Chain A
Amino acid sequence: MNRLKNWKAHLALFAMVVGPGIITANVDNDAGGIATYSVAGAKFGYSLLWVLFPTCFLLVLVQEMCSRMGVVTGKGLSALIRERFGLGVSFYLMLALFFTNLGNVVADFAGLAASSEIFGLHRMWAVPVGAFLLWHMVIKGSYKTIERVFFIACVFYVAYLISGFLAEPDWKTAAYQSVVPTNVWTSDSFYMIVGIVGTTIAPWMQFYQQASVVEKGIPLKHYRYSQWDTIAGAIVVTIVCYFIVLACAATLNKAGITIETAGDAANALRPVAGKYCAGLFAFGLMSASLFGAAILPISTATSICEAMGWERGVNRKFTEAPHYYSLYTVVLFAGAIIALSVSQKMLVPIMIFSQVINGILLPVVIFFMLRITSDRSIMGPYVNSKWFNLVAWSGAVITASISIIMVVMTLLQ
């Protein structure tokens, strides 16, 4: 009885704290992410499934530091970087963040365009209407209502689980390949591995998760539940990725179809996997794109305003926080306009540009995070332990070198 009571109390506290980790991790599966996982499945079948597990671990490692910083200091990551490393560094970091986030928003609107066309909705309708709805939601809404909407959006990812089952994968091979790494060292598959890690751990996520932990005002006492939230988010995101790879591996790879984008994947699934599987896949892409296009502009505006010391927050009115809403509006509509006006061919260099900045930014951000979380004057008793630092630094070095390799490889291509 007592144990049951305890369990209930834990659950109640967890429910109070849950959100930032799960939402951040799910937005991570936006149009760009889905594209990468689909290509991985289509091109390499089940053979890259194992990559998802170490990636999940790295994700937890990085994101846990963010939510810890948020809970302990009550400040966002960009504020901490500004206070610890000064204005110059923060400014250029924010400039880079602005462009890479804008690139992600473009990818999301392109994903929205592609998925809505699968359902017979013209892109010239879907994208402007989507952009305007998102804009309206943030301008009129409060943090609580928006978080609720985002939570519901997370549920739509179930679409991928179902489409993974509908694709009737070869479970035995999948299970085997999840544990045993094969064909790592061909240059093609290595590029793909780098791509998977690179899209799963992106710089905006650190800024966003820490900012929403702060916004939620999670007390230090309940930090443990915030850790659960981070871990739960990483697990959910890994499961979704797993099923995307599975769906594409079981159908496209088997039929020898190559794809380049998530929209391609949804289209290509129809003849080989049936219309329900393809429809669900496209539906997942649509909600993921909307979700990403909603959160990335908010995150961009929040991070920049915090670093520069401007008023911010969804809970304020336009006149109270003009910089915040201007930045938000610019990122959102610029993303939509670029996605609509630029041809598919032109979109590729934009994506490459955004990925390169992403790749350069991530090691820098992780380096700053490790410096801050090791600083006792900032973190107090919640400073990184010796062992954590050992693991975190090696994890960070791996992630950083992977993203640098990605930059070099992208530029060489």
Chain B
Amino acid sequence: MFQQKTTSEGTNPPVVFYNLSDLLGCPIRYENDPRPFAHLYDIGGSTLTPYPLSNSLEVSPRKGGERCFIPWSSVIVFTRREIVIRKSSELAPASDFWARRDVLDDQVVDVSGAQVLRVNDVNLIYSDNNLIFGHVEVGLRGILRRLRFERPAAFLMQWLFDYTIKDSFVTWKHLQILSPGGIPGGVRVNNLTERLADIHPAELADILEELGVKDRQVLFNSLPVETAAEALEEVTPEFQRTLVSHGEPGRVADILEEMPPDEAAEVLRDLGPDAQGFINQMENTAAAEVQTLLSHREESAGGVMDHNCITASPDDTVASILEKIPELTKDVQVYNLIFVVDETRTLKGVLSLRELFRADPAATLASITTKELITVTPDTRLKDVAREFAKYGFQAIPVVDENMILQGLVRYDNVLSHLAEFLKD
């Protein structure tokens, strides 16, 4: 151990940069045999560190036949010309990804720019007998180099237009690989998804829409449930359908629970008869809410209504409600309307937060609430709901049944998103 250290310091190994495309096909030999026995086919990496280290090589034998794996620990010399290894009985460790199969020429996500890119080359750094994955090249220069046009093209562009063809890299720290699993039974360590959590859901949705079926599913499955729910809300209905129908039912149910019930109902409505399978897996209250939404016609108030709203009793005082505001507004989307209901949930009045702030703290809600109520029933058609919104300018309208029992509320944005479909472009 000690000896090894002194020799490595003694020779002072230089830091060398390699392009994966130059390394592939490189001859490999044993230390005591001058004839190469195989060619380099692929390099496997382990994602335990932010910049992954190579832990094994996949090689194709010269004489043909099955490709085999060599642990990185047995590599002695690593250059573009040749790779020398020592004979060892050690098995190659499982790799989290393979540079050629999963990265080179494939699509990856650049987390910092929130975009999908195709990899033209992989840059590796060899230092202190470690091979480190540094960045991937995504620009024109990488394409030109691999096609062996780099020099003439760069010269021509410089000479003709005084234009320098730029390199463009994505550092490995900002990279999300999409192909799953390493070959020798490796389970993918996914410490990358936390990088994705920083991307805005709308951008994540764009990324998902741009990918192929498998890559999309890999990415979607690797997202934390909350992020997945936000992204699912943002993608177009066609993609919602495919993402959900290819997903594992238990996980999909968790994601749907995370979404606002009306959004979840919308996703499930598009699934047709398959929806029931997911509803059965959902937690009871969420399932029941979605179920009621689905039981109403899509174009009616009942089909889009939101069950979560702030309710209060007519006997509550203004002060007592104001005190509880942080807690009351926790799980609701419409936080500035308070519905005054009696013990049978019969709607008695509606109060806005502003009215509450201005009122005498000692007054009861019954004394200050508006008596004239604008309501709709679950069967009211969305067109008519929209007219009510246009007329009164509310943010939300309560939904009640024929006995004035509060069912939930319709938000104006629910109605808007339905009407938007009918807008002419």
Contacts and interface: CB of A to CB of B under 8 A. Distances in A.
A308 interface: yes
B73 interface: no
Contacts of A74: 211-214, 216
A18 B242 CA distance: 18
A91 B145 CA distance: 12
B105 A91 contact: no
B5 to A, nearest CB: 40
Nearest to A71: B213
B105 A83 contact: yes
B211 A309 contact: no
A219 B245 contact: yes
A94 to B, nearest CB: 11
A86 B118 CA distance: 12
A409 interface: no
Contact of B238 (A82, A217, A308): A217
A309 B117 contact: yes
A219 B105 contact: no
Contacts of A308: 118, 143
Nearest to B216: A74
B212 A75 contact: yes
Contact of B120 (A73, A83, A87, A219): A87
B144 to A, nearest CB: 10
A142 to B, nearest CB: 8
A365 to B, nearest CB: 18
Contacts of B245: 219, 221
B381 interface: no
Contact of B213 (A72, A83, A86): A72
B118 A82 contact: yes
Contacts of B146: 87-88
Interface string B74-111: 00000000000000000000000000000001110000
A71 B378 CA distance: 39
A219 B143 contact: no
A73 B147 contact: no
Interface string B232-255: 000000110110011000000000
B138 interface: yes
A79 interface: yes
Q: State which size class the interface on B falls in.
A: 20 to 34
Given A73-B213, A88-B147, A309-B117, A219 B138 contact: no
A220 B212 CA distance: 13
B383 to A, nearest CB: 24
Contacts of A72: 213
Interface string A304-315: 000011000000
Contacts of A73: 212-214
Contacts of A221: 245
A5 to B, nearest CB: 14
A313 to B, nearest CB: 9
Interface string B181-218: 00000000000000000000000000000011110100
B106 A83 contact: yes
B273 to A, nearest CB: 11
A74 B107 CA distance: 13
B143 A87 contact: yes
Given A217-B238, A308-B143, A86 B211 contact: no
A73 B106 CA distance: 13
Contact of B242 (A79, A88, A91, A219): A219
Most-contacted residue by chain A among B118, B211, B239 (CB, 10 A): B118
A42 to B, nearest CB: 45
Contacts of A75: 212-213
Interface in B237-291: 238-239, 241-242, 245-246
Nearest to B147: A91
Interface string A49-79: 0000000000000000000000011110001
A310 to B, nearest CB: 8
A308 B120 CA distance: 8
Contacts of A309: 107, 117-120, 138
A86 B212 contact: no
B318 to A, nearest CB: 52
Nearest to A221: B245
Nearest to B119: A309
Nearest to B213: A74
Contacts of B216: 74
B239 A217 contact: yes
A402 B294 CA distance: 57
Interface string A209-242: 0000000010111000000000000000000000
Q: Looking at A73, A86, A87, A91, which has the most chain B CB atoms within 10 Å of its CB?
A: A87
A82 B212 contact: no
A220 B213 CA distance: 10
Give the 6 A-B CB pairs with smallest separation, nearest first: A309-B118, A74-B213, A75-B212, A74-B212, A217-B238, A87-B146
Given A79-B107, A83-B105, A308-B143, 5 more contacts: A72-B213, A82-B118, A91-B143, A217-B242, A220-B213
Interface of A: 72-75, 79, 82-83, 86-88, 91, 217, 219-221, 308-309
14 contacts: A72-B213, A73-B212, A73-B214, A74-B212, A82-B118, A91-B143, A91-B147, A217-B238, A217-B239, A219-B241, A219-B242, A220-B242, A221-B245, A309-B138
